[in-house]
Structure 1
Amino acid sequence: MKLVDIYRVKTYVIPEYADKVIQSVLSVDELQVGQYKNVMWQTKDGMEQFVPSGTAVPTEGKKGEKERVTSFRIEFSIPRDEGLLTKVIEQGIYAAHPWDEPVVQVTEEREARKHES
């Protein structure tokens, strides 16, 4: 067993854009864990709430009005490399996400690897 330093990345997206965001992320990094590629998790049917204001360009809803939409959480890990993290967020998530300010959460964690690779 080996512990490796990783970034855990989470974002939330409406269902009709989930596959587009996933494919965009995978075009930047194959998300490999051990001998497996494209490793990620999806949590379906969450609820996202927001009020567009200021210079927002909402894909859903209207400025000044509360909006609620069904969203999926997409979560994955990558090696703890800031350059890769920037590429995954900017070229993977931001490039395909419909919101003008998507929520992207990043935490520093450690993951166990059963097999050395």
Structure 2
Amino acid sequence: MKLVDVYRVKTYVILEHVDRVVEGILSIDELKVGNYRNVMWQSRDGMEQFFPSEEAVPAKGAAGAKTTLTSIRIEFSIPRDEALLRKVIEEGIYPNHPWDEPVVQASEEKEARKHQ
């Protein structure tokens, strides 16, 4: 067993855009864990809410009105490489996500690798 330094990345997206965001992420990194690739988790049927300001350009809902939508959490790990993290977010998630300001969270963690 080996402990490796990773970034754990999470983002939230409405169902109709999940495949597009996943494809964008995988176009940047194959998300390899041991002998597996494309390793990620999707947590279904969460609720997100937002209240766009008058300056916002919402893809769903309207400026000045509360919007609540069903969303999916996409979560994955990548090696702890800040350049890769920036590329995954800026080139993989942002251009494929429907929101003009998507929530993307990255935390530094250690993961156990049995075969690596």
Task: Provide TM-score, normalisation by structure 1.
Answer: 0.98
Q: What is the CA distance between 1:54 and its match in structure 2?
A: 3.6
**Is 51-60 or 65-74 further displaced after alignment?**
51-60
Alignment length, in residue pairs? 116
| CA distance in structure 1 between the partners assigned to 2:105 and 2:68 by the alignment | 20
Q: What is the CA distance between 1:55 and its match in structure 2?
A: 1.7
| CA distance in structure 1 between the partners assigned to 2:6 and 2:81 by the alignment | 8
2:69 alignment partner AA = V
The alignment status of 1:71 with 2:90, answered yes or no, reads: no
Corresponding residue for 1:60? 60
| CA distance in structure 1 between the partners assigned to 2:36 and 2:59 by the alignment | 35
Runs of 4 or more, structure 1, over 3 Å off, are none
| CA distance in structure 1 between the partners assigned to 2:34 and 2:95 by the alignment | 27
Which residues of structure 2 form unaligned runs of 5+? none
Which residues of structure 1 form unaligned runs of 5+? none
